[in-house]
């Protein structure tokens, strides 16, 4: 599924792009923190701490039933965020819990949902985002607990990237559920994209696992990257967010 927003709205949003771009990947655990409380405001507080312009989220919707968003749309709007509309119902924020939020002059140009091979329902999302005169392609995913499935899912995302029109600078981000550095899914992604050597991000209170990953195409200007480990981030979710700061040499 490919779609695009209203062109007049897009032109208005592109009028004031950020000078640099900060993109975040964050498994928000359905907005339930390490204290057991569901407080979506804390998730947005963490994104504000980072200064994020793009947020690629996992577990952004309830898992069962009609999959209500755990981040209310009025709250997002009040905090300056817009969701890429992967879900047409207006109930869910994303697709199988994967969502992309944008602000600060970043506008969705094209977007699609990706079905992933899995025993339980899994998906990924792909969006081309306009930033000033350029385009950034972003893929977000939350891979399976099974190693074999993770490899197949990573390959499926790469196939969709290769088939998508154009060849803009690309970020691939998400919770890959990979505990070992030699995982086939990581090798598959690293063969096509540059893996950023991020520290551990899970569990949030005392991170030991590098489950949250960012991969960048060679044509992206990566200025900085890291794991955000503030006091709020350590309690807002069971994962810490990972982030990358990009120069705006987008094509």
Kindly give the residue spans of alpha helices, DSSP state H, lying in 23-146: 40-50, 73-78
In words, the CATH class of domain 7-246 is: alpha beta
Domain range list for the chain: 7-246
| Per-residue confidence in pLDDT tens, the chain, 251 aa | 565 554 334 444 444 555 689 999 999 999 999 999 999 999 999 999 999 999 999 999 876 555 678 899 999 999 999 999 987 666 688 888 999 999 989 999 999 999 988 767 788 999 999 998 899 999 999 998 877 789 999 999 999 999 999 999 999 999 999 999 999 999 999 999 999 999 999 999 999 999 999 999 999 999 999 999 999 999 999 999 999 999 976 54
> What residues pair up with 247 in beta bridges, in sequence order?
none
Q: By the 8 A CB rule, do 199 and 210 touch?
A: yes
Integer CA distances (angstroms), 240 to 4, 157, 164, 184, in order: 31, 23, 30, 24
Torsion-angle region of 59 (φ positive above 0: left; ψ -120 to 50: alpha; else: beta) = left
């Amino acid at each position: 599924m490919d779609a695009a927003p209203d062109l007049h709205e897009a032109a208005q949003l592109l009028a004031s792009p950020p000078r640099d771009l900060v993109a975040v990947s964050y498994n928000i655990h359905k907005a339930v923190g390490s204290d057991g409380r569901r407080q979506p405001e804390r998730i947005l507080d963490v994104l504000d701490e980072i200064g994020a312009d793009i947020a690629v989220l996992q577990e952004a919707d309830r898992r069962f039933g009609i999959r209500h968003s755990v981040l209310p749309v009025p709250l997002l709007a009040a905090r300056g965020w817009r969701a890429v509309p992967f879900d047409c119902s207006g109930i869910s924020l994303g697709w199988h819990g994967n969502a992309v939020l944008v602000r600060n002059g970043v506008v969705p140009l094209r977007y699609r949902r990706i079905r992933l091979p899995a025993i339980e329902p899994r998906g990924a999302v792909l969006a081309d985002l306009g930033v000033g005169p350029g385009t950034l392609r972003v893929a977000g995913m939350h891979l399976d607990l099974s190693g074999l499935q993770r490899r197949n899912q990573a390959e499926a995302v790469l196939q969709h990237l290769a088939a998508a029109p154009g060849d803009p600078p690309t970020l691939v981000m998400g919770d890959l559920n990979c505990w070992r550095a030699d995982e086939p899914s990581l090798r598959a992604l690293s063969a096509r994209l540059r893996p950023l050597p991020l520290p551990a991000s899970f569990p949030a209170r005392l991170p030991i696992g590098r489950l949250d990953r960012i991969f960048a195409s060679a044509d992206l200007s990566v200025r900085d990257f890291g794991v955000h480990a503030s006091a709020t981030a350590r309690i807002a979710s069971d994962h810490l967010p990972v982030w990358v700061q990009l120069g705006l040499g987008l094509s």
